[in-house]
Amino acid sequence: MTDYTAPLRDITFSMFEVFDYQHHYETRFQGADVNPELIGVILEEFGRFCSEQLSPLNAVGDREGCTWNGGEVTTPTGFKEAYQQYVAGGWPALAGDPQYGGQGLPESLSIILTEMRGTANWAWGMYPGLSHGAVNTIKSHGSEEQKAVFLQKLVEGHWTGTMCLTEAHCGTDLGMLRTKADPCADGSYSITGTKIFISSGEHDLTENIVHIVLARLPDAPVGVKGISLFIIPKHLVNDDGSLGDRNALHCGSLEHKMGIHGNATCVMNFDGATGFLLGEPNRGLEAMFTFMNTARIGTALQGVAHMELGYQKALAYAKDRLQMRSVTGPKNPSGPADPIIVHPDVRRMLLTQKALSEGGRMMITYTGKLVDVIEHATDEQDRRAAEDMMSFMTPVAKAFLTETGFESANLALQCFGGHGYIKEWGVEQNVRDARIATIYEGTTGIQALDFTGRKVLGSGGELLRNFTKEIHLFCKENAQNDALKHFITPLMALNQKWADLTLHIGTKALENADEAGAASVDYLMFSGYACLAYFWAKAALTAQQGLASGSEESDFYEAKLQTASFYYDRILPRTLVCEAGILSGAANLMSVSAEQF
């Protein structure tokens, strides 16, 4: 069975047909040779690298895991060689700034490639994945000297980066962190403390690792207002750019994890390590959000990756596995039984995975355009509008896609029955690997609080209105399209319901602040389903246009229409449950005393 085949046709459908990336690239990258033909070649070549080089290592990484020996970490068999090929192919630098060795292609394209890389082998993909956040953070907040020292090596993939936030006594509550930074006479800082859960914190893929670390200065205010950010390289860098002495930091141990065994999740000890202040003193958390926002989109991609991998495996198995006969008569009369794909409940599970994974891909493609606008807009108003929309979409994408990603991974295992529970097929690994995604970079509950409290209510509803206005205009433009009525009518009603629920939560929260927290996860999930409803309506319109053009891909477009209908008929009603939870209020949660649990 093929472990992974890049879904190139669905990717190009989302990019160039639903979201018109050709016009987007022509507008944002004038003068650059960014066209569908070039993008197609890049997608095909990288898809081949993922399926031929990375996918076969996925089970290897899970089986072998990483090895710790005296503070040094060895990655699983084949990981280092694959990384060398990755760098030699120029893939890390694809969307990097040409000033620092990058190729200057759109960041949205890099995001699409990240999905492919992560679906083929999420554990391997995490090693280069966090470097992107390190680059963004240093580029946004670093001094010119820091940019000159670190960016090119990170952009080209010769070095990798990490994000060091969490400590054993504080997870989300970073105001409690204790790692300290003492000033040195030469302008550097001596960093002492221990960080846990550090993905890719130590490994043998690159000669240097650049840690982006939160710590406190001696005179720092208490809480989050007293956090500063530092660059701490594994090896110090000499004036000529060569590597100098090993810094005073080491990997104390590897975490023993449920999944993603091929990636080294480290306890990192900083024992008076030499660090360099990144950005302004006591404003480190603000700077780190540059990294965290990058990581949250990466985590949203993880949700899509686990959906896609599970779906591919389940679909192939369902077409091949023979069990029982169809209740409407044999579909495989020459065999002893019918393939399980003929059974309604198996189709329910497969179509749920398909609708969520393809819908999730559209959500990622939509946010990818926003990233391009933020980075390349020449009009400040355009940039601010994109930043507002990205601020709105980020917690939804991170939380909703990881929750549905885990659901889809479980459905894939269910399609396999008992065979899914054993290691042979790789679907139980996919479930284990998917589970962390709803937790790190801020749990679903944390994302929901951020979304409901800060992004929606905190903006007076403005960030929500930006998106619902877009939906309203789409519905208005297509109100007379009878063939689209199945989607437009419920989408219009849903859009109004979204506004009504927001007003309800805001009003109740004025009376009792717990009301917003009590409603937040249901509200975020409602919002995620609403977003996908909009994207599936757009996909249905695109598919109708494809069929009307007389395209030879009629099966592909018909499948899009059928999947869109399935989403509206079978999945979108979940919003009714979310609505009921929101309207039930906070009392059923908060009136129970701790002793009554």
pLDDT of residue 374 exceeding 80: yes
Phi, psi of 498 (to 5 degrees): -60, -45
- Average of per-residue pLDDT values in the chain: 96
Residue pointed to by tokens 């039984």: 337
Do 9 and 358 touch, CB atoms closer than 8 A?
A: no
pLDDT mean over 459-464: 98
pLDDT mean over 143-161: 98
Q: Does residue 219 sit in helix, strand or coil?
A: coil
DSSP assignment string, 345-396? HHHHHHHHHHHHHHHHHHHHHHHHHHHHHHHH-SSHHHHHHHHHHHHHHHHH
Nearest by Cα to 397 from 496, 272, 304: 304
Whole-number Å distance between alpha carbons of 308 and 304? 6
Whole-number Å distance between alpha carbons of 269 and 247? 11
Whole-number Å distance between alpha carbons of 325 and 346? 13
Q: Does residue 235 sit in helix, strand or coil?
A: strand
Residues contacting 193, CB < 8 A, separation 6+: 167, 177, 178, 179, 180, 215, 270
Whole-number Å distance between alpha carbons of 321 and 340? 6
- Paired with 271 in beta bridges are 192
Percent with pLDDT over 70 in the chain: 99
Per residue in 209-245, pLDDT (tens digit) is 999 999 999 999 998 899 999 999 999 999 999 999 9
Q: How far is CA 78 from the centre of its chain?
A: 25
pLDDT mean over 455-467: 98
At 294 the pLDDT is 67
373-379 contacts, C-beta under 8 A, 24 or more apart: 373/28, 375/107, 376/28, 376/29, 377/28
35 or 305, which is more confident: 305
Per residue in 32-80, pLDDT (tens digit) is 788 899 999 999 999 999 999 999 999 999 999 999 999 999 999 999 9
Do 151 and 100 touch, CB atoms closer than 8 A?
A: yes
Residues contacting 137, CB < 8 A, separation 6+: 212, 229, 278, 287, 288, 290, 291, 294
Residues contacting 525, CB < 8 A, separation 6+: 399, 400, 403, 574, 578
Known catalytic residues are 441
Do 311 and 350 touch, CB atoms closer than 8 A?
A: yes
Whole-number Å distance between alpha carbons of 158 and 94? 14
pLDDT mean over 92-96: 96
423 or 173, which is more confident: 423
pLDDT of residue 1 exceeding 50: no
Per residue in 252-288, pLDDT (tens digit) is 999 999 999 999 999 999 999 999 999 999 999 888 7
What pTM was estimated for this model as a whole? 0.97
